[in-house]
Chains A and B, each alone.
Chain A
């Protein structure tokens, strides 16, 4: 069972994600936070419990945005090893560079089809996200979903 955290302020996107998870072969459990604050709070609760397998982090969120969360996560000793995948609509170089430099593991641009989303999540979950201390190369940072 892989515990997945999703931080996204958009209700529709949350729904789409959940629907995608339903069709993945790998068993998953999803925790949803609708802004950065909720995410950090949810993460605090898991300090005693096993941490999530991966955090899907949107960038544009109220109260606390994805950049701030990422920074905080990477600076918190208990949380800094959790794989973070940026999951955003904006795919500009600025955001990509910044999240890379802040220590995100992968960057995924939100696809426009159900099938593609399934594929992306599956690919990510099959990767060895845990166990590598080194950050992935920049060229492979943005996940290409074909």
Chain B
């Protein structure tokens, strides 16, 4: 837009300047012609004066001829007269034609002509007299009068011309003043315009040059980045193709593509991927249907292939934005017929004026294998887990049942032992009672053992749920559980500093239970035990 405005501005300025120059030229031309005319006029006046002078001198010449004749009676004085007469006539004719524009002088001329004719007539009369002494004094006086009149008249005419000359000279002077000045103005103006144009043009040239430099630099940069791209393209570890959108033909393929698909350059470049049958035949239909459906296209594939480059690009962009295009898996075939799965992704790229699609084919054979492997291993794991869980459950119930069933007889032993001991009707001896007590104790111990075994089995199989808990809480629970024994033994339990721990409650409870139990069990029989319990967290010493 700016360019166009600038263009128009330049045109306008040029037109203005041209007009100005032409105008000045016209003015100058007018001035010069005027000056020439003025000088012509001045010359003209001078010429008239000269002619008048000539006429006068010729008249004097006739006068002297006349005198000569009168003095010498020589007829040779006749010749100059006739010549002079003719010449005078001629001169007068000249003056007449020269003063055609001056009515005053024309009138003067008529008078002059009359006077001249009179004079000439008189001269003729004189000359025709054979005897000059016969020329009367009257004649001579007449002649002189006419001569004087002529002289005066001519002088008058000359004076008239002088007036004219003065006027014309003034005019000429004015013209002579203006014309060169106009010329100078024209010249200076032209020079100025020339200089300004020169600078402007120079300016524009410089700007152009700078722009050209920038353009060249940019082009170099583009070339460089294109080279860079081709390097990356060629050495990429993923097979890639550059396909021209317009013709659908493959223009470039990288080394990895040739390796992966097993084709040579001649077989690939200039062909379409359909020709090469890259996509496995049974896959093509599925893929086509999938893509058309994704684009929500009702047009057929042929119609789409006939679209212009811009329209095709639009479609490709639309396709790329779809989520389903990410990680699209397609089965491809190598030249040797092997097929392999790959994820395909594409991008649109421009090189110079041409538009290409950059397609990459990422072989996912390994990935698929790993995925299958993972799924399989997962299933195995799940199965094993399920098995383990059911085994665990069986084990638990087995443990529970067996421990429970094991405890039963013990309970009965204790019951019967106590029955015997407490029998009032058939009391035992002291020794007997003592022995049955021992039976009771043993049975009780076994019971406890079995119970603890059961508890232990449960601790290792129960959920490993860690909780933040203050140790004092667990300790108090345990001490409460032992309150009978503590009372029996008259033990004093002092709970001192405690700390917070992150433990499996059940397990830790068991631990404290065992420790406190031990402290009560392994105490001096006679002395009431003093049990001090405190807990601190110490840094790990490994």
Q: A and B from one assembly?
A: yes
Q: Which residues of A contact B (CB under 8 A)?
A: 12-13, 16, 19, 23, 89-90, 92, 110-115, 117, 146
Closest chain-A Cβ to B396's Cβ sits at a distance in Å of 12
CB of B419 within 8 Å of the partner chain: yes
Q: Say yes or no: A89-B418 contact (C-beta < 8 A), given A112-B444, A112-B447.
A: no
CB of B368 within 8 Å of the partner chain: no
Is the beta-carbon distance between B415 and A114 smaller than 8 angstroms?
yes
Q: Residues of A contacting B422 with CB < 8 Å?
A: 23, 114-115
Q: Say yes or no: A112-B419 contact (C-beta < 8 A), given A89-B404, A90-B404.
A: no
Is the beta-carbon distance between B404 and A112 smaller than 8 angstroms?
no
Closest chain-B Cβ to A145's Cβ sits at a distance in Å of 12
Binds A, one of B223-231, B235-243, B406-414: B406-414
Is the beta-carbon distance between B447 and A89 smaller than 8 angstroms?
no
Closest chain-A Cβ to B261's Cβ sits at a distance in Å of 67
Is the beta-carbon distance between B404 and A12 smaller than 8 angstroms?
no
A-B contact pairs, 12 of them (CB 8 A): A12-B412, A12-B416, A13-B412, A16-B416, A16-B419, A89-B408, A90-B404, A112-B415, A112-B443, A112-B444, A112-B447, A146-B484
Is the beta-carbon distance between A19 and B404 smaller than 8 angstroms?
no
Q: Residues of B contacting A90 with CB < 8 Å?
A: 404
Q: Residues of B contacting A111 with CB < 8 Å?
A: 415
Is the beta-carbon distance between B418 and A115 smaller than 8 angstroms?
yes
Shortest Cβ distance from A19 into B: residue: B419
Closest chain-B Cβ to A100's Cβ sits at a distance in Å of 20
Closest chain-B Cβ to A97's Cβ sits at a distance in Å of 16
Q: Residues of B contacting A92 with CB < 8 Å?
A: 400
Closest chain-B Cβ to A23's Cβ sits at a distance in Å of 8
Q: Residues of A contacting B411 with CB < 8 Å?
A: 89, 110, 112
Complex: how many Å from CA A6 to CA B419? 19
Q: In the complex, which residues 169-195 of chain B have their Cβ closer than 8 Å to any Cβ of chain A? A: none
Complex: how many Å from CA A71 to CA B120? 188
Q: Residues of A contacting B410 with CB < 8 Å?
A: 112
Complex: how many Å from CA A19 to CA B420? 11
State the majority secondary structure of interface residues on B: helix
Shortest Cβ distance from B414 into A: residue: A112
The 8 A CB mask of B380-419 against A (1 = contact, 0 = none) is 0000000000000000000010001001101110111011
Complex: how many Å from CA A90 to CA B419? 22
Shortest Cβ distance from B411 into A: residue: A112
Q: Which residues of B contact A (CB under 8 A)?
A: 400, 404, 407-408, 410-412, 414-416, 418-419, 421-422, 440, 443-444, 447, 484
Is the beta-carbon distance between A16 and B404 smaller than 8 angstroms?
no
Partner of A113, one of B400, B407, B408, B418: B418
Q: Residues of B contacting A19 with CB < 8 Å?
A: 419
Closest chain-A Cβ to B401's Cβ sits at a distance in Å of 10
Closest chain-A Cβ to B449's Cβ sits at a distance in Å of 14
Complex: how many Å from CA A110 to CA B408? 10
Closest chain-A Cβ to B438's Cβ sits at a distance in Å of 15
Closest chain-B Cβ to A60's Cβ sits at a distance in Å of 10
Q: Residues of B contacting A113 with CB < 8 Å?
A: 414-415, 418, 440
Is the beta-carbon distance between A114 and B418 smaller than 8 angstroms?
yes
Closest chain-A Cβ to B220's Cβ sits at a distance in Å of 85
Shortest Cβ distance from A17 into B: residue: B415
Q: Residues of A contacting B444 with CB < 8 Å?
A: 112
Shortest Cβ distance from A92 into B: residue: B400
Complex: how many Å from CA A111 to CA B412? 9
Can you add 17 more A-B contacts, CB < 8 Å, to A112-B410, A114-B422?
A12-B415, A12-B416, A16-B412, A16-B415, A19-B419, A89-B411, A112-B414, A112-B418, A112-B444, A113-B414, A113-B440, A114-B418, A114-B419, A114-B421, A115-B418, A117-B415, A146-B484
Complex: how many Å from CA A114 to CA B421? 9
Complex: how many Å from CA A121 to CA B408? 20
Shortest Cβ distance from A20 into B: residue: B419
Complex: how many Å from CA A19 to CA B414? 14
Shortest Cβ distance from B409 into A: residue: A12
Q: Residues of A contacting B407 with CB < 8 Å?
A: 89
Complex: how many Å from CA A19 to CA B425? 12
Q: Residues of A contacting B404 with CB < 8 Å?
A: 89-90
Complex: how many Å from CA A146 to CA B481? 12
Complex: how many Å from CA A89 to CA B400? 13
Q: Residues of B contacting A112 with CB < 8 Å?
A: 410-411, 414-415, 418, 443-444, 447
Shortest Cβ distance from A146 into B: residue: B484
Specify which of B411, B415, B447 lies most central, judged by the most chain A CB atoms within 10 Å of its CB: B415
Closest chain-B Cβ to A95's Cβ sits at a distance in Å of 11
Q: Residues of B contacting A16 with CB < 8 Å?
A: 412, 415-416, 419
Complex: how many Å from CA A110 to CA B421? 19
Shortest Cβ distance from A12 into B: residue: B412
Specify which of B414, B416, B419 lies most central, judged by the most chain A CB atoms within 10 Å of its CB: B419
Shortest Cβ distance from A90 into B: residue: B404
Closest 5 CB pairs of A and B: A112-B414, A114-B418, A113-B418, A112-B411, A114-B419
Closest chain-A Cβ to B487's Cβ sits at a distance in Å of 11
Complex: how many Å from CA A12 to CA B419? 12
Q: Residues of A contacting B412 with CB < 8 Å?
A: 12-13, 16
Shortest Cβ distance from B421 into A: residue: A114
Q: Residues of A contacting B418 with CB < 8 Å?
A: 112-115
Complex: how many Å from CA A114 to CA B440? 12
Complex: how many Å from CA A114 to CA B408? 15
Closest chain-A Cβ to B387's Cβ sits at a distance in Å of 25
Q: Residues of A contacting B419 with CB < 8 Å?
A: 16, 19, 114
Complex: how many Å from CA A13 to CA B412? 8
